[in-house]
Amino acid sequence: MTSRMMPASDMTFTRDRGSRGALYALLSTTAVVFSAPAFAQSGQPLAVPAVGVEEDAPQEYKVESPASPKYTAPLLDTPQTITVIPQAVIKDQNLLSLRDVLSTVPGITFGAGEGGGGYGDSVNLRGYTASSDITVDGVRDTGQYSRSDVFNLEQVEVVSGANSVYSGSGGVGGSINLVTKVPRAESFTDVSAGVGTANYFRGTVDSNQQISDTIAIRINAMGHKNDVPGRDVEDYKRWGIAPSIAFGLGTPTRFTLSYLHQVDNNIPQYGIPYFVNAFSNGLLPGVDTSNYYGYSNVDTQEIDLDVATAIIEHDFSDTFHVRNLTRWQEVTQLSIANQPQGTWCLANGTNLATGAACTPAGFLLLTRGGTTRNGRNQMLYNQTDVSMQFATGGIGHSLVVGASVSTEDYALANGNSLRTPTGGTVTLPPMSIANPDHVYTGPVNFIQSGSTDASLNNQAIYAFDAIKFSEQFEFNGGVRLEHNEGTNTLGTFSAAGAFTSQGPVLKNSDDLFSYRAGLVYKPIPDASLYIAYGNSKTPSKTSVNGACTAANCFVEPETAKSYEIGAKWNLLEDQLSLTASVFRNARTNFRVTSADTTIPEQQVDGSARVDGAALGAAGTITPEWMVFANYTYLDSKVIRSIPLIDIARGIVDPQAGNPMVQTPKHAMSFWTTYQLPYNVQVGYGFTQQSKIYVTSAAPLVTAPGYWTHRAMVSYAPTENLSVQINATNLFNKLYLTRVRYNANSPWTVPGDKRQVTLSMNYSF
């Protein structure tokens, strides 16, 4: 048997896109030089929020402004629901991965983690997929992979509602922005070491050193390993380092250069069977939730992430600011998975899916295994933003105009690793349902069966303005025009893994126009009422790894619209933020397929909507008491899931009127801490989610809702040293996440069982 580990270099791509010459292009990019006269001021223009996280921001739960320069007003005056999870919340709850962080935001659910982009984060926001709507410092994060650690993040921003005016094509339910750490004009070092149950070991370093009045360097590093609590096999191993340097701090011209390198070696989670039919009502009786139905000595998820970013900023005056960002990114991911798919023959000799007799009783007859995907995403991106303040006729403006250009490439080699050297299939032995043997003893040879080569190029111009008519009335709006063009082509291979042919190059090209507008009324300086409207545009190829097919390459882009009315209030001397909103998020024309085979192209006739409400609270109630809480209500409905031509022919729409999948009606998250005497702090929180539908047509199948609880106790014996204990899933409850449902082989991933960790943190 060959070794379990198969590095990406051992698998053949049809075309090598892995050259790192683009990195050198980034480092040598010439900064765009702007010259313009200072703007004459009159009236009272709005203040332009600082770009990024303020250097002296206290470790609190309330954040004043989003980090992106595209936002022209503080959160209080921005007519949109934006939930910011700051570093203090992340640290107090010991949230480690992006999935952990987003679990504190109601209205977000997680899919099974596989699809066209491969195994990785599969995020649903307000009922719609947001897997391609994740950005880092406002730049789209290319590829679908597991964002397993947040050691280099300052905060996470969840922008809800149709949002492609800010994030680019897509953004139907909203977007998620990750804000990275940057050097500051101060010196500090934070060292943390942790141990815990389930073989938890973790160490991090965050060191910022000011080496002159205007230069600072910062290094973040992380090493981590743990078993998945409550599971027999799955584990995580990773390490990362993120150095950065900033020149010109405190001067009109600033230059920041940063790099991130992270390596993951995980075992992917595919969980346990979840059938809802005449023979089962969810989890199979007698199945231990810790069971692993793959092959632990073959299954793997190996990720290499490299990101280099250069930012140059210049202040021509107090009211005129220019920023240019250039980024190169490469993500490679090798995944080998043996999903629990096949014939489930119950102990009574009944086929779980059909009810027919089967043998051997009590065993799983695997029909799929060794699924292998070796992919590489590479991106080069440049964005320039010009921010200015001025007044016209006594009306104040805070204006941002900008442009961006990006190019992405994707290459995938897919096939099977449970093969003979000549490509022959392997008969997999029956696996006990009650006590599966997860060690594979047959041959392991990767035999390629397909390849994908794809590209995506995007050019955009945009403008955002916050217009202040008076102390009470403001208008906040933006427009974006972009050209999005993508291609993909598929390769075919023989049964022995030899390349046989290359398919046609399929191309999608669209010009997209998106916008957002909101009117803000401020009855008092610390409160705002608003009404807002926006849209999003989604072309057939909105992500580089998404497939553009002959059936949809030439159809019109999909459209989504967002309507929102809300209120925001900063109280207790600006220490606590309260928010409330009601909204409708509607997809007015998503792609659907006709039952008429003579109509090959998809039709943009589908329609769905989500009506809802959101509540939020973040900040300090008393000097000792902090809170971070959110609630979301979502009422979803599929309005039409088949083309109008089919309805005219009398075909019954199988989904019309049904709830949308992965959309809980009620969800809430609560976290609070209290500072006790003798430098002791305690924290408690919970996450609640109501049931979700995992099918949208009959038979309608649901996954149950759940509550989970967490707690924290910390003690600081000295000013520099603290000890922190965290417990997640405090009451060790069984709950289900990431349900993948089809009629033959559905499965779900059980939520992590209780885990207790002890961390020691030292700052100097």
Least confident of 43-47, 237-241, 565-569, 671-675: 43-47
Which pLDDT band, with edges at 50, 70 and 90, does 426 fall under? very high
Spatial distance between the Cα atoms of 589 and 536, rounded to a whole number of angstroms: 11
Spatial distance between the Cα atoms of 195 and 198, rounded to a whole number of angstroms: 9
Q: What is the pLDDT of residue 114?
A: 60
Contact 481, 493 (CB under 8 A): no
Contact 239, 662 (CB under 8 A): no
Task: Name which of 676, 612, 567 is nearest 160 in CA terms.
Answer: 612
3-class SS of residue 90? helix
Residue 163 vs residues 33, 78, 513, 585: alpha-carbon distances, Å: 30, 13, 12, 11
Q: In the structure encoding, which two tokens stand for residue 372, read together?
A: 């292998």
Mean pLDDT (whole number) for 369-389:
96
Please determine, for residue 36, whether its predicted confidence score (pLDDT) is greater than 50.
no
* Mean pLDDT of all residues belonging to the chain: 90
Q: What is the pLDDT of residue 34?
A: 31
Q: What is the pLDDT of residue 59?
A: 57
Spatial distance between the Cα atoms of 183 and 22, rounded to a whole number of angstroms: 24
Write phi, then psi, for 653 (nearest 5 degrees): -75, 115
Handedness of CA 255, 73, 583, 512 (dihedral sign): negative
Amino acid identity of residue 575, one-letter, is: Q
C-beta neighbour count of 63 within 10 angstroms: 27
Contact 741, 701 (CB under 8 A): yes
Helices H / strands E in the chain, number of each: 5, 40
Contact 530, 45 (CB under 8 A): no
Mean pLDDT (whole number) for 210-238:
96
Spatial distance between the Cα atoms of 80 and 75, rounded to a whole number of angstroms: 8
Contact 226, 241 (CB under 8 A): no
β-pair type (680-689, 692-693): unpaired
Please determine, for residue 13, whether its predicted confidence score (pLDDT) is greater than 90.
no
Q: Cβ neighbours of residue 570 under 8 Å, at least 6 residues apart?
A: 76, 526, 527, 576, 577, 578
HSE, side-chain direction, 13 A CA sphere, residue 243 = 2
Kindly write down the DSSP assignment for every residue of 633-649, as one continuous string: EEEEEEEE-S-HHHHHT
C-beta neighbour count of 228 within 10 angstroms: 22
Bridge partners of residue 513, in order along the sequence: 481
Does the predicted TM-score (pTM) go above 0.75?
Answer: yes
Contact 476, 78 (CB under 8 A): yes
Task: Name which of 738, 694, 741 is nearest 270 in CA terms.
Answer: 738
- Encode pLDDT of 679-695 as tens digits: 999 999 999 999 999 99
- Encode pLDDT of 352-362 as tens digits: 988 999 999 99
Spatial distance between the Cα atoms of 154 and 136, rounded to a whole number of angstroms: 11
Residue 255 vs residues 23, 138, 182, 185, 313: alpha-carbon distances, Å: 17, 18, 11, 13, 6
Residues constituting the chain: 764
Q: In the structure encoding, which two tokens stand for residue 578, read together?
A: 């309260």
Q: In the structure encoding, which two tokens stand for residue 342, read together?
A: 């096949």
Which pLDDT band, with edges at 50, 70 and 90, does 514 fall under? very high
Q: What is the pLDDT of residue 111?
A: 81
Spatial distance between the Cα atoms of 77 and 65, rounded to a whole number of angstroms: 10
Q: In the structure encoding, which two tokens stand for residue 84, read together?
A: 């910011």
Q: In the structure encoding, which two tokens stand for residue 322, read together?
A: 């220019």
Q: In the structure encoding, which two tokens stand for residue 648, read together?
A: 């005219």
Q: What is the pLDDT of residue 318?
A: 95
- Encode pLDDT of 628-637 as tens digits: 999 999 999 9
Contact 727, 167 (CB under 8 A): no
Spatial distance between the Cα atoms of 13 and 11, rounded to a whole number of angstroms: 7
3-class SS of residue 98? helix
Contact 191, 762 (CB under 8 A): yes
Contact 165, 560 (CB under 8 A): no
Please determine, for residue 54, whether its predicted confidence score (pLDDT) is greater than 70.
no
Spatial distance between the Cα atoms of 305 and 120, rounded to a whole number of angstroms: 13
- Encode pLDDT of 598-629 as tens digits: 898 999 999 999 999 999 999 999 999 999 99
Which pLDDT band, with edges at 50, 70 and 90, does 7 fall under? very low
Q: What is the pLDDT of residue 412?
A: 96
Task: Name which of 148, 129, 131 is nearest 140 in CA terms.
Answer: 131
Q: What is the pLDDT of residue 113?
A: 60
Q: What is the pLDDT of residue 118?
A: 60
Spatial distance between the Cα atoms of 758 and 760, rounded to a whole number of angstroms: 7
- Encode pLDDT of 113-148 as tens digits: 665 456 788 899 999 999 889 999 999 998 889 999
Q: What is the pLDDT of residue 742?
A: 78
Task: Name which of 77, 73, 82, 78 is nearest 49 in CA terms.
Answer: 73
Residue 663 vs residues 144, 699, 748: alpha-carbon distances, Å: 21, 17, 16
CATH of 8-763, one of 2.40.170.20, 3.40.50.720, 3.40.50.300, 3.30.70.980: 2.40.170.20
Q: What is the pLDDT of residue 27?
A: 37
Q: In the structure encoding, which two tokens stand for residue 138, read together?
A: 């406002």
